[in-house]
Amino acid sequence: MSIHPTAIIEEEVQLGAGCVVHAYAVVKRHSVLGDGVIIHPFAVIGGDPQYLKFDPATKSGVRVGAGTVIREHVTINRSIHAGQATTVGARCFLMANSHVGHDSAVADDVVLANNVMLAGHVTVGGHTFLGGGAGFHQFCRVGEGVIVSGLARIAQDIPPFTMAAERNEVIGLNLVGLKRRGFSRETIREIKDAFRAVYFTSGNIRAVARASLEGGAFKSAEARQFLTFFTEGKRGFARARREGLAGEDDAG
């Protein structure tokens, strides 16, 4: 473990083996950092949530998984609820000036590029990349294996294994990411078929996804994960850009 001069670590903080806290970084009370977490200068972990009704006496915190790197000026706010925590998973990379709002849940192997803004209660699935300056409305869900372009404005849920851009636009499947993770051609083909079933069928998107699940045509866990995403959540869903969809001509 390495704690540099002028770093501030408050009481009731847990630091895992091999953590590095650079100069001028701040780790607030009730934060828990896994092994090998690196925090660069001027980052603030566990600061009070940006919530007008918040009581600072609330005992809540932040949990960061092993091997995550937190660059300069990153802020991760603690939960607004007693006994709960804002969470960032293992092996994540939070680039400079990115922000994780209170009660958000960021899964493992996620990259937040510079200036990404996650409002409160946002969930981000594993193996996802969020481009620089992208902003996410409170309670949005971003599925596993998603890529979001820089400066995107997201106020609706983004389904797993897709690419999103601009304002709530799904522009295709993240085929490069699927291949890099070793997904089989058969699995990718099923995900593409599930994508078409949801986005190219008229009717209520939740009902279409539910009917596709119940129909039994989709066998792979990943295709069913894609469809199940549309049966959950509190917000609406990002819609597909019909023209020029990426990845619609070749499964691999």
Q: Assign residue 220 the CATH number of its domain.
A: 1.20.1180
66 in a domain, yes or no?
Answer: yes
Show the DSSP H helices in the chain as ranges. Answer: 175-180, 185-199, 205-215, 221-229
One domain, residues 132 and 209: no
96 in a domain, yes or no?
Answer: yes
- In angstroms, rounded to a whole number, what is the distance separating the alpha carbons of residues 105 and 42? 22
Task: Return the CATH number at 15.
Answer: 2.160.10.10
220 in a domain, yes or no?
Answer: yes
11 in a domain, yes or no?
Answer: yes
- Assess whether 127 carries a catalytic annotation: no
Q: Domain of 66? A: 2-155
Tens digits of residue pLDDT in 63-97: 999 999 999 999 999 999 999 999 999 999 999 99
Q: Among the options 34, 65, 101, 120, which is catalytic?
A: 120
246 in a domain, yes or no?
Answer: no
**pLDDT the model gives residue 250:** 47
One domain, residues 19 and 144: yes
One domain, residues 42 and 104: yes
Q: Among the options 30, 46, 65, 103, which is catalytic?
A: 103
Please list the pLDDT of the chain residue by residue as tens digits (252 residues): 999 999 999 999 999 999 999 999 999 999 999 999 999 999 999 999 999 999 999 999 999 999 999 999 999 999 999 999 999 999 999 999 999 999 999 999 999 999 999 999 999 999 999 999 999 999 999 999 999 999 999 999 999 999 999 999 999 999 999 999 999 999 999 999 999 999 999 889 999 999 999 998 999 999 999 999 999 998 999 999 765 565 554 444
One domain, residues 185 and 92: no
37 in a domain, yes or no?
Answer: yes
One domain, residues 11 and 56: yes
170 in a domain, yes or no?
Answer: no
Q: Among the options 30, 73, 102, 137, which is catalytic?
A: 102
Question: Which residue is associated with the tokens 């597909």?
Answer: 240
One domain, residues 32 and 127: yes
- Residue 232, Cβ neighbours under 10 Å: how many? 10
In the sheet with 69-70, reading across from the earlier edge strand, the strands are 2-3, 20-21, 38-39, 69-70, 93-94, 111-112, 129-130, 147-148, 162-165, 169-173, 239-240
One domain, residues 96 and 7: yes
With contact defined as beta carbons under 8 Å apart, do 23 and 2 qualify? no
- Assess whether 102 carries a catalytic annotation: yes
Residue 156 CB contacts under 8 Å (≥ 6 apart), including other chains: 137, 140, 168, 235, 236, 237, 238
Phi/psi region, residue 88 (left: phi>0; alpha: psi -120 to 50; beta: rest), is beta
One domain, residues 138 and 217: no
251 in a domain, yes or no?
Answer: no
One domain, residues 96 and 202: no
- Assess whether 4 carries a catalytic annotation: no
One domain, residues 225 and 128: no
Q: How many domains in the chain?
A: 2
One domain, residues 93 and 218: no
One domain, residues 132 and 188: no
